[in-house]
Structure formats: C-alpha cells, structure tokens
Structure 1
C-alpha cells in the first residue's frame, strides 16, 4: 500500500503545475518526503506510516519503526482504520470508517501554513479499545490548527490484536511480557513525533497528549508508562476512567491473569497454538474474540505498565505534567448498558443500597436518592467511572505541584434534549474540534446558532491555550487551577467558574475503591450502586 502511494505521488509531482504545488504542500521530514493538501488554510498530511505493519509473524509484537522512504509519499488521504467489528448501526457513535487493515499504524498532521516551533497536540481516539479511528470526521484537526498549534491524530491496534497476553508471546519478548501492543503503538507514534514533527512546524519539546474515553484511558496509561516519560509535557483527559486492570501472571481484583485469559481464548477459538492464532484472518479473529467476551485492557506487566493506575498515581510515579481533565453530566445517557435496571420501587432501591453499602449507605443515598431513582442510577455509574477519575487526576497532579484544571460539560441543545441525551458521552467533542457539521449520522445535531458558535469558540480556545502554555486560561475566559478552592469550569450555555464539584462524590467513590483494593477480590469499574457486590469491611488504610 505504501509503495503504491509513493509511486503515484512521484508521478503526480512530475505533472504538477505551480498552482497545484501551492495546494499540495510538501514536507521533507526525516522519515521521508510527504505531500499533503491545503485545506481551509491549513496544511493537512494524512495516512503517514509511523511503524511497520504488524502482520503475519509480526502480529502481537512490539511495533518497529517504519522504514524511511526517499520517494514522495502521497498523504492526501487517511490510512485504513485498524481491524475492528462493525459498529451497531443504531448507535449514535456509528460511522462508516471504510476498509480496515492490520496495516493501519498511521497518523495525520494538521499544521498552520506558517508554523515554526508550534506546540503540538497528539489526539488518541476513543472506542473502548476495540473500535474507532483517527479518520473519524469529528476529529478533524483543522480548526485547532488555525489557532496556531499542530494537531496529530493516530491509529493504534485494537481489540484482541492490540491487547492479547499469552505465555508464548511473553516467551518471545525480550522483556518476557505480553499484551499492551496498542499502548506500545501509541508510544511509537509519540517517538515518531519527536523525530519528525519539527519538519511540519511543530516543537517536539511542546507535545500534549489528549484523548476522550478510551483515548483518555490511554493517556493515563501513557502517564504511567516509563517508556513514555519525556515524550510529552502535558495531558488532556476527557471522560477518563481509572478502572482496575488484569495483571500478567496473577489473578487479582476479580480478573484472571492476562496470560491465563489468553490461553483460555485460544482454547475457545479452537486454535492449537499461537501460530494458529496468527494464521487466522484478522477480522474473523477479532469478531471471534469479541464473541468470546475478550476484554481489551492495558495489562499490569511490571514493565510497560508497572502497577495498577491507582497505585501509580498514589505513589506519585505518574508523569509530572500539567493536566486538563473532566467529564460530562450525562455520560451514561448514551451508555445505558453500563447502568443496572431500576428495581420495582424506591423502597427496593433503598434496601439494596443499604445492604450493599453498609455504613456508607447514608452518604450514598444523600448523593443518589431514591426519590429520583432513574437519575440516581445514571449519576452513580457516571461518577464512579468518570467523575471520580477526573477529580482524582486533578488532585494527584496538584499534590505533585503541577497545574491541574477540572471541567464539567453540562451543555444541552434541542436535539439532544429531545432524545433525553443532555450532555451525553463524547458530546463535548464537536465543540472542542469545531466539527458539529461532521458528526456521525445519528448524532443529535447541535443547531447553527450564535450561542453554539460562541461555546465552540471558547472551548477550542481553552484547549489550544492549554496546549500552548500548560494552562487553559484565555484573556476573555478565566479558568483557575483546581488547587484554588477546588475550582472547576462548568460548560453550560457558556463557561462558568465554580467550586467544589458534587460535594462528597469523590470521597464516597474513593472509599469504595480503597476497600476493594485492600480486599483484593473485586474490580472497580461499573459494578456500583445497585450492581455492587457487598462492600468489603472498612480498613484502617481507607480511613
């Protein structure tokens, strides 16, 4: 695929007129010459390979640097998405990603025409580590680039192709570990940025990693990964979730050992060996693994990810960088599969919570009362996954002496309200990227009003300011650090500076997670509220 693109671009360059050359900008990067397109005043370069294709015998191996090229690479079109099952056609998140391939480790660059030493934002897409792509139209980086920053978006291996651990894979590895291939792809992409982004007008010393949902989970992995240290200077985490992870060789926190799960999956797929798994058609393998309920997750292997995320942040071992973190008030309205069904009555709700939460039940019921049971169920899962994580991130970075900024996206508009999707999961993305006209087909469309345009402008300005300076403050819209009285910004009809987000929320969920950690047999994820097993007894470590 890459060789064909190089030959086509070389032939086109011979025929190009001066006018065509102006609309097809050329960059001579250390990796090789790249020809892109001028789009709305921004230079766009798409589908650039940053690592060798992980196919055949290279499947489930750490990525290796893509070979340099000498002929001009045609970078006018996105590369293929990584292999993944088709999205549910009725989902608001579903969009046509085109063909998928194992040869998918590519990235895209949007850069101002006159960029020199500009700060860089590297965007990591969401999708539960099983789906998504950097080619999704909602992630177009042009509007942010017009604010004077360079935007890079990346693909990385997904599903079983990105996160399988297996004893034979560990034996092949120089570090005797396996899993985390999707994360290793992200680290390799950041290394590519360090080597090449100056040629596109970016400053490799001014890189911010950013992502939403599984992309924000990936940013936390990068903050915890020793191999990613010094590859970025700031982090943006939109709807991150600091859930428990499987460990490579030990069953902990209700999860089997990751290597054992790999052997189990091999048996379930009726493969005699690792070689048989490597011989499977990628899409068939991915679908079969999904059908066997394979969980895509980072793996605590002592090398790539040395500890559980909560332990890394508790010990202050994460990357000591400024962070911007937050979540949406309606996260679970579009993710109702994560919320348990409502019981027959408010009395049943109260009885279940008292049984499962013991002496924490009163604090729970104050935050999530039975009187508004339906909303309380949604809020419980939202806070346990996203709210607790966002506040934990800003608290831990503040404790390191690093600037940390918290937000709550609480904006509604007619189409979302009509669908009962006020401030749903990922609904902030079109405002950050200014891509309301490019959302997926079933996405509730924001109206083209002056108020929507103003909110879009201010959110894009805040994100770009953070990438430039490590603080999201702008001249017309203040944003105090969290450490100043637990400050945060609520994006409603516009930005509002507030203090003490959902008092008691963080403390309750921190206590729940702490008890589960001390007990060691229960994961911490969406098994909360009505879905919670009985909490372990109070521990002296959790006071």
Structure 2
C-alpha cells in the first residue's frame, strides 16, 4: 500500500506541484522540495530563478543534496557520505500531524561561516521544537562559499554575467516559497519568524536590511550574529582577486574559469581564503560574506539599522558569554591574538586601540585577547544593532552564559555554538549529548526549556514574555540565561563605552 493511501494529508498541492511527505517521530515531514531552479550551468553565480513546475507527485521523503562545502562536519554540515551538489536549493518542512488552526512558522538559517552548513544537519533536528511549540518549521539549503557569498561582478562579460549576494538571494527565494505555500502545510504565512545562529544570524540581520525581503517575515531572532560582517566595495573585490590567485587563474581568464571550474576547486580556494589569508591581512573580517552592493544591500547593515531603513519587525538579539573561545581553540579565524588585534586596530581605528584594550584588565593575557576578538566580531556589533533597532521596533537583548561541565573542562565556557542544543531542545543526541557527558544534563534541559520557551513565545506573539523586558538605550536591560536567569542593566558597561565609535571595516 502506498504512503499516500495510508495518509492522504501527506501529499500537498504546492504552487509548483504536488509533494508527498512522510511521518517521522510522530510529525509530518517533507524534505528536499525545490524552491528555485538549479543554480548550475548558465545560472551558476547568478541570482536564483523560479523553479519549473511539475505535474507528477514529487517524492519529498529524503533530503536533497547539500551545497558544495568541505566534508567531515556531519553534525552541522556535510558528513563523509552526505550527497552534495550545486543543484541544492531545496526546503524541508516539519509540522504537527493535525493542526487545528494555522500555526506560527519558524524558518531557520543555518550557520557555518558561509562556507559550511546544511538544512539536513543533525544539530537542526526540530522534532522537540515543533512538538513543544506547536509550530511549523522550515529550513532551507542556500549556496555557500565562493558560489554564494563572493563578488565576481568585475569579471562579468555580456555573454556571462555574474551576480553578488547569491546566497542571501537564495534565502529570499525560500521565504517567497514560504509565503506561497506554507498555508498548505498548516502554517500561517502572516506569522513567520526567521531565526539563525552565527552565519545564519548574520543572514537574519542582513535580510532585515534587504529591500527584497520586505514583508516576507514578521519577527526575527539573531543568535550570535556578527552584523558588521558585510563589506563593499573594496574588500570583496580584493578577496575575489585573492581567490583567483589561489586558483592560479589569470584575470583575463577569470570569467571562463569561474563559470566552468569544478565546484570542489572553488570550495577549496574559498576555505584557504577564509582560514589562511583574510584572518592575517584583515583580522576580524570574513572574506566569504554578504556584499554591500548598493542594490540587494543598499547600506551596510549597521548603518541601515541606525537610519531606520531596516525592516521594523520585532527582534531578539544576543550572544554567548565568551564567543571567541571556540575560535581560539578550533577555528583560528578571529583576532584573538595580540598580533592580529594590533593589525585590526591599525586598519580600522588606531586612535581607539588604547581606550578599548584598557577595558580588558590583564590584556595582552590570553583570556583577555580572546575576549577582545569575540567582542569585536560578535558582541559589540550586536549591541550596535540592538540599540539602533530599539528606536524603531521592539527589541530584546540576551546573553547566554550557561555551559555544561564538559565545556568548562575543555576550556571553552559558554562559547559560540553551544546554544544550539538549547534552542532545539536536543540534549539527548549529537552535540548536546556530548556536552552533558560529564554531567549537568538536568540543568542543561532546564536552561533549554526556559530559553526555548521564551523564543517560542516570541515567535507566537511577538513578545518573549513578561520576565524579559525590552531593550532600550536608557537602561539596556538584558536577559542573562544561566543556571539561574536574571535581568542585568547594561552588562559590560565599561567595555561598551570603550568600544563606542568603533566602526570596523567600513
């Protein structure tokens, strides 16, 4: 007997064609649904185009291929055997079995520094989130690395043009798919919350400043965003030239090479650029990142928030207690060492260096240097966004300070990415299970319940609840999530004042 005959409601008539899902963990799931045309051939490095409709029932019971990226990170991206292809623009939907009314929609944007990530990654299993919140969950694949977040427009020809911000445009195309189709899956297209962590949170803050995303979402949650990670026009052009050098491609042959080289070559070069080149030449930047192109992103995101041109939707914005520690130990791309910090200030604000570093007693000690790097990239730009947006729309700020015992044994503390199990309620598997191997499982679940509960209330109502006051520049009240939660006015006041006026690479 066919799956469709057993559960007729698993076949959904989308605007593009019928799709058949499955029942997994007591929820309805649809996987690998195309939301845009395959970005291959003439569409490589071009903005996403509409998908061709289909008439036969599309089998949406298996995940689609993940975007080209380095392998070996199955928890958050591509494992050794994960199918991978440039033809990757698909969405996954998870929904309750029988919703009584249209449900809030949560659309997740995965992290991974714009070079790794996948909607099918184990860490983003939304089973508990959907069960607890009675929501519809959507996660999409979007292009990464050189194929999604570099600017090769200067190498365009009339016969072979290139576009910038392809990865962000993919996200917009997926959000348009949500508006067209999510009601058919039980979701409310008038109540869509975008949320993401790390590069996904950078995408959230960038989409809030993208005119083409207007009206496609109604609330936003940015978990460890680095909103200053958007550049233009000089740095993206320089990095594009650097990438060609790494590929061994002369500028005269750039157009043909970019259009025809295997994706694996572009992946490898982008990884070298982001891990080896940019962290030394421009510490604190991300060479694969959104581009302030004057069109898709008319203004730098922080400038757009300050001008009030960002979409005026309710926003939850926050960071981990020690963002930089993870990078210092496992992904050495931040300015967490005095040499890189010196270079960063020489390029971006030499007159502010002494004042800022004076706010970190013990600098140039290792811990203080790590905190400077994390604050420069994540915390300080996040505060800039929160204080700017709060003048135009409801805004809430948090700091996630809880770390299980294992994280402390590793010398990490509450560092970047350790909030993912709390958001999804996944302390029984994957990263969450590892973090609680040394104990603390009950506490972790308690913190997760409070954090996740507040985010779900926000997605449902636009307010995370009475125990979390809004952020405003008079008191700067911030929710601290830890073993015991608290509200703290203006945490890190001395550091905030010291960083005031720092603009970074723009």
TM-score (normalizing by structure 2): 0.86
Tell me the distance in 2 between the aligned counterparts of 1:365 and 1:433.
Answer: 36
The alignment partner of 1:390 has SS state of helix
Q: Which moved more, 1:459-468 or 1:291-300?
A: 291-300
Q: Find out whether 1:414 has 2:405 as its counterpart.
A: yes
| Partner of residue 364, structure 1 | 356
Give the SS at the match of 2:220. strand
Deviation of 1:41 after TM superposition, in Å, equals 2.7
8 Å CA contact retained: 1:258, 1:299: no
Q: Deviations over 1:445-477 (max 9, x none)?
A: 464733222212111111111111111116xxx
User: By how many angstroms is 1:268 displaced?
Assistant: 3.5
Distance 1:310 1:265, change over 3 A: farther
1:104 matched to 2:93: no
Matches of 1:51 and 1:255 in 2, distance apart? 26
Task: Select 1:500's aligned residue among 478, 490, 503.
Answer: 490
Tell me how far apart the structure 2 counterparts of residues 42 and 283 of structure 1 sit (CA, whole Å).
36
Taking the aligned partners of 1:445 and 1:118, their CA distance within structure 2 comes to: 33
Report the secondary structure of 1:152's partner residue: strand
Partner of 1:43: 28
Name which of 450, 456, 460 aligns with 1:464.
456
Closer, same or farther: CA 312–257 of 1 in aligned 2, 3 Å = farther
Q: 1:52 aligns to what? A: 37
Q: Contact between 1:31 and 1:67, CA under 8 Å: does it hold in 2?
A: yes
> Structure 1: which 5+ residue stretches go unaligned?
1-13, 344-348, 517-522, 525-543
**2:500 alignment partner, SS class:** helix
Tell me, in whole angstroms, the C-alpha distance in 1 between the residues paired with 2:77 and 2:432: 8
User: Is residue 2:312 matched to residue 1:320?
Assistant: yes
- TM-score normalized with structure 1 length: 0.81
Q: Separation in 2 of the partners of 1:169 and 1:417? A: 48
Quote the offset at 1:423 in angstroms: 0.8
Of the structure 1 ranges 47-56 and 33-42, higher mean CA displacement relative to structure 2 is found in: 33-42
Q: Deviations over 1:173-232 (max 9, x none)?
A: 99x872111011001000000000000111111111111111111111111111111111
Distance 1:384 1:273, change over 3 A: closer
Cα distance change of structure 1 residues 409 and 96 upon mapping to structure 2, 3 Å threshold = farther
Alignment of 1:271-420 (within 5 A): 272-292=253-273, 293=277, 295-336=287-328, 337=332, 338-341=334-337, 360=352, 363-370=355-362, 373-400=365-392, 402-420=393-411
User: Which runs of no fewer than 5 residues in structure 2 stay unpaired?
Assistant: 279-286
Instruction: Return closer, same or farther for 1:66/1:455 CA change in 2, 3 Å cut-off.
Output: same
Write the distance in 1 (CA, Å) between the matches of 2:42 and 2:434.
40
Comparing 235-244 with 196-205, greater Cα deviation is found at: 235-244
Kept in 2, the 8 Å contact 1:88–1:94? The answer is yes
Corresponding residue for residue 202 of structure 2: 217
Query: Partner of 1:485 in structure 2?
Result: 475
Q: Within 2, Cα distance between the matches of 1:442 and 1:181?
A: 35
- CA drift of 1:271 comes to 7.6
Where 1:82 maps in the other structure, the secondary structure is coil
CA contact (8 A) 2:110 2:118 kept: yes
Task: Say if 1:224 and 1:396 are closer, same or farther in 2 by CA, change over 3 A.
Answer: same
The match for 1:538 is none
Q: CA deviation at 1:121?
A: 1.0
State the Cα deviation string for residues 87-117 of structure 1 (Å, max 9, x = none).
579x998855712110111111111222332
CA pair 421-71 structure 1, distance change in 2 beyond 3 A: same
Equivalent residue runs for 1:67-78 within 5 Å: 67-78=52-63
**Contact 2:243-2:270 at 8 Å conserved across structures:** no
Q: Is contact 1:97–1:135 with CA below 8 Å preserved after alignment?
A: no
Contact 1:269 1:288 in 2 (8 A): no
Preserved CA contact (<8 Å) 2:386 2:471: yes
Q: Cα RMSD over matched residues? A: 3.2
What count of residue pairs does the alignment treat as equivalent? 484
